[in-house]
Amino acid sequence: MITHTAVPLSVDAMLDDLRTLVEIESPSGDPIALARSAEAVAGILANRLGGRAVLVEGEAGPHVHWSGGGEPRVLILGHHDTVFPLGTLERRPFTVENGRVTGPGVFDMLGGLVQAIHGLAALEDLTGVEILVTCDEENGSHTSRDLIEERARACGAALVFEGAAEGGGLKTGRKGCGTFEVLITGRASHAGLEPEAGVNALVEAAHQVLCIEAMSRPEAGTTVTPTIASAGTQSNVVPAEATVTVDVRVESGDEKDRVEAAFAALAPHVEGAVIEVRGGVGRPPMPESAAAELFAIASHLLPGIKAVAVGGGSDGNFTAALGVPTLDGLGAVGGGAHADHEYLLVESMPERANLVTGLVTAIQTGLSPA
């Protein structure tokens, strides 16, 4: 039977570490800023857990890897990059007021990272625990995916510290997600003197947008949403080029295959137009079955906590697709991810940190929820 006595934790210490990470600023795609952030993450890991964190250099910036030694049993997974550009902190400084923490990245996902570290620090034995904090999750995890999958396979269980679902629920299912780009090539001509001599890429784009939108199957959980379009250079020139960017979310592998095949089959409607499709569903769906065993343990440790399936993707999609038991949404309780009103609830921090302690203890000792 799983039992866990909550350990007193210092909220002030957690807030100090969170302030350190937030005030560095770590926008995805900025290797210099991410190098500073990675050093800070490594420093906090060493300070709170002992040992030494290793920086894994990559094209996008450094990932941070820490191990408690022994046979790997559980992977603590997070990221230190955020979506906010440098300078956001000046406009939206780290603030603790009325029980809320605000500032760029507090909810997604620096707060969850800090909670995980402090929850682990309450353990006397960290044997079998690995921590991987990547630097490119917000941009698709292109440079970290192989490392994530390698360590998840080695550990056999993954706890993901993305922000909690609404109301503090754990994320037990995620849609697969990806981005497609449809590039259309036409031929320019004078819009007034001889429009018929051109091949209007914008008109072709309009046809393609309607075809793309029709790929959605809401009843199957599939959304295919054109989000960005661009075309043309001057008001009196028939556009020679156009681009349509599309966000795709799917709940199953079959839908992933169907949508990718539909994009590959797109054909021009305007004579002379040429279409090229790039991209795909980069994050596979995270089935709820992948979280079942770990959620059962969590619900014994924190009775009443809810399981929620969400549309957004995370690195948990990768680990779950490998068949590795994965529980997500273990991070901060709050909201406003990627928005100016992003916030974290201070009162939830000790409870969530203690949940980490209990989950890791259960995994280390092989306890089941029964």
Q: Which amino acid is at 125?
A: D
The answer to the question of residue 370 being in a domain is no
The amino acid that residue 32 corresponds to is I
Task: Judge whether 2 lies within some domain.
Answer: no
Helix or strand run (H / E) with residue 166: none
Structural contact between residues 134 and 82, judged by C-beta atoms closer than 8 angstroms = no
Collapse the DSSP code of 226 into the 3-class scheme (helix H, G, I; strand E, B; otherwise coil) and give the result. strand
Asked whether residue 48 falls in the same domain as residue 125, the answer is yes
- Please check whether residues 18 and 154 belong to one and the same domain: yes
| Euclidean distance between CA atoms 123 and 49, whole angstroms | 9
Question: Based on the domain organization, do 349 and 324 belong to the same domain?
Answer: yes
Of 17, 108, 136, 137, which is the active-site residue?
A: 137
| pLDDT at site 56 | 98
| Residue 306 is assigned to a structural domain of this protein | yes
* pLDDT at position 370: 43
Residue 290 — left, alpha, or beta (φ > 0 → left; ψ -120 to 50 → alpha)? alpha
Domain closes at, from 216, 251, 283: 283
Distance CA 29, CA 10 (A): 33
Whole-number pLDDT of residue 8: 76
Q: Are 115 and 353 in contact (CB under 8 A)?
A: yes
Q: Which long-range contacts (CB under 8 A, 24 or more apart) does 187-196 make?
A: 187/238, 187/240, 187/272, 188/233, 188/237, 188/238, 188/239, 188/240, 189/237, 189/238, 190/236, 190/237, 190/238, 191/235, 191/236, 191/237, 191/238, 192/236, 195/238
| Residues 239 and 197 reside in one and the same domain | yes
- Output the domain CATH number for residue 190: 3.30.70.360
Residue 163 lies in a domain: yes
User: Same domain for 169 and 202?
Assistant: no
Cα 276 from Cα 335, distance rounded (Å): 38
Closest CA to 30 of 92, 106, 104, 103: 104
Task: Specify the pTM.
Answer: 0.91
SS3 label, residue 264: helix
In a domain, 42, yes or no: yes
Q: How far apart are CA 23 and CA 90, in angstroms?
A: 9
Active site residue 81: yes
335 and 350 assigned to the same domain: yes
The residue annotated as part of the active site, out of 17, 25, 30, 81, is 81
Out of 258, 283, 308, pick the residue that ends a domain: 283
Residues 261 and 210 in one domain: yes
Q: Are residues 349 and 313 in the same domain?
A: yes
Q: What is the pLDDT along the chain (370 residues), one digit of tens a residue?
A: 555 666 679 999 999 999 999 999 999 999 999 999 999 999 999 999 999 999 999 999 999 999 999 999 999 999 999 999 999 999 999 999 999 999 999 999 999 999 999 999 999 999 999 999 999 999 999 999 999 999 999 999 999 999 999 999 999 999 999 999 999 999 999 999 999 999 999 999 999 999 999 999 999 999 999 999 999 999 999 999 999 999 999 999 999 999 999 999 999 999 999 999 999 999 999 999 999 999 999 999 999 999 999 999 999 999 999 999 999 999 999 999 999 999 999 999 999 999 999 999 999 998 655 4
User: Are residue 292 and residue 262 in the same domain, yes or no?
Assistant: no
Are 194 and 144 members of one domain? no
User: Could you tell me the CATH number of the domain that includes residue 155?
Assistant: 3.40.630.10
Q: Do residue 19 and residue 137 come from a single domain?
A: yes
Could you tell me the two tokens for 313?
């993707």
Is 137 designated active site?
Answer: yes
Q: For residue 129, what are the contacts with CB-CB under 8 A and spacing of at least 6? A: 67, 68, 73, 74, 76, 120, 123, 360, 364
77 lies in a domain? Answer: yes
* Residues 106 and 33 occupy one common structural domain: yes
The answer to whether 136 and 33 are in contact (CB under 8 A) is: no
Q: How many domains does the chain have?
A: 2
CA 63, CA 148: separation in Å to the nearest integer?
A: 10
Is the residue at 167 inside a domain? yes
Its domain, for residue 164, covers: 11-174+286-365
Q: Which of 234, 252, 283 is the last residue of a domain?
A: 283
Does residue 194 lie within any of the structural domains?
Answer: yes
